[in-house]
Amino acid sequence: MDLRTLRYFVAVAEELHFGRAAARLHMSQPPLSRAIKQLETDLGATLLHRSPAGITLTPAGDALLEQARLMLNLAEQTKARVAAADGPGVLGVGLLGEGDDVAATRLADAFRRRHPAVEVRVRETDLTDPTCGLRAGLVDVAVTRAPFETAGLSVHELRADPVGVVLRTDDPLAEHTELALAELRERRWFQFPAGTDPLWQSYWNGGEPREGPVVRAVHECRQAVLWSGTIGLTPLGNRHPAELAVVPLTGMEPSRVVVAWNGNDPGPLVRSFVQLAVAAYRDVG
């Protein structure tokens, strides 16, 4: 039983789905299934109940999940201490500038506790760069929102936020309890500048070409609504001034908070950051 197999098991136990766990681990499903079966053989215990309805943990699986998390956490702490003894590390972290997030604050606290000697250089970006400088090589890891072009990047979903339409409180549509995209067809939407990732632009425009003022940051989106009566999309959890209303939007994919990094094999600091991010967003969400 090695650490890699424990990581495999934790992924399966948390996802309760071999396909999702394999995607999370950036591997195919057959070797993952074989590794879990071998782990059950080595331990002499059934860890998972498999049925057409899905996967559930057995009592032995629950016990192993608790211990595996402790062991993986201890291994990461050990790596961090060895790295710290070799000299202080530096980690570039990209964040999307969209306001406060309790989970992100929790992540910062957890990372500081685990890696007190590491210098964290935070780069907060506007809405024109959903990779937060990752693709440009300006940061090592980013907490941001999908979708965006992921070629050459590894991405793990942390949370899915439903979205709504942000508009002025005196807008007639603000009286609705929910809205559909078809009801917004004739309205002006705020736009991102030319050259912005097309997947990102398309998502925030509801999948259709739109017209409206160009914005770069969250506060500019709000000002466009306040001053021009423009509309746009926003995660439902975001805070807005009292003069703005947010109406839930039906038929729209949620906005997915993700952690992303370059390549498939991150270094120990990035790996630790990702592990802590998953825990922070799971505990808060």
Q: What is the mean pLDDT of residues 226-242?
A: 91
**Mean pLDDT of all residues belonging to the chain:** 90
What pLDDT shows up at residue 222?
92
Query: pLDDT value at position 99?
Result: 65
Residue-level pLDDT at 160:
95
**Tens digits of per-residue pLDDT, 84-137?**
665 558 899 999 987 678 899 999 999 999 999 899 999 999 999 999 999 888
80/202: higher pLDDT: 202
Identical topology for domains 88-158+255-285 and 163-253: yes
CA distance 27 to 4: 12
Distance CA 58, CA 47 (A): 5
pLDDT at 265: 73
Going by C-alpha positions, the residue among 108, 2, 98, 6 that lies closest to residue 47 is: 6
Instruction: Give dist(CA 159, CA 278) in Å, integer.
Output: 9
Question: Two tokens at 85?
Answer: 């003894």
User: pLDDT at residue 250 above 90?
Assistant: yes
Asked whether residue 24 carries a pLDDT value surpassing 90, the answer given is: no
CA distance 158 to 155: 10
Please check the confidence at residue 285 and state whether its pLDDT lies above 60: no
For position 1, what pLDDT does the model report? 73
Question: For residue 2, what pLDDT is reported?
Answer: 84
Least confident of 15-29, 32-46, 104-118, 248-262: 15-29
| Architecture of the domain defined by 88-158+255-285 | 3-Layer(aba) Sandwich (3.40)
Cβ atoms of 93 and 120 closer than 8 Å: yes
Hey, what are 278's tokens?
């998953």
pTM of the model: 0.70
Report the alpha-carbon angle 165-132-285, nearest 5.
Answer: 55
The full set of domain ranges for the chain reads 3-86, 88-158+255-285, 163-253
What pLDDT score does 80 carry?
66
Give the contacts of 13 (CB within 8 A, at least 6 positions apart).
Answer: 47, 48, 57, 61, 64, 65, 68
Instruction: Supply the DSSP string of 125-170, one letter for each residue.
Output: E-TT-TTTTTTTTS-SEEEEEE-S--TTEEEEEEEEE-EEEEEETT
- Architecture per CATH, domain 163-253, reads as 3-Layer(aba) Sandwich (3.40)
- Burial label for 17, CB within 10 Å (0-12, 13-18, 19+), is middle
The DSSP code for 184 is G
Q: What is the pLDDT of residues 146-187, one digit of tens each?
A: 999 998 899 999 999 999 999 999 999 999 999 999 999 899
For domain 3-86, give the fold.
Arc Repressor Mutant, subunit A (1.10.10)
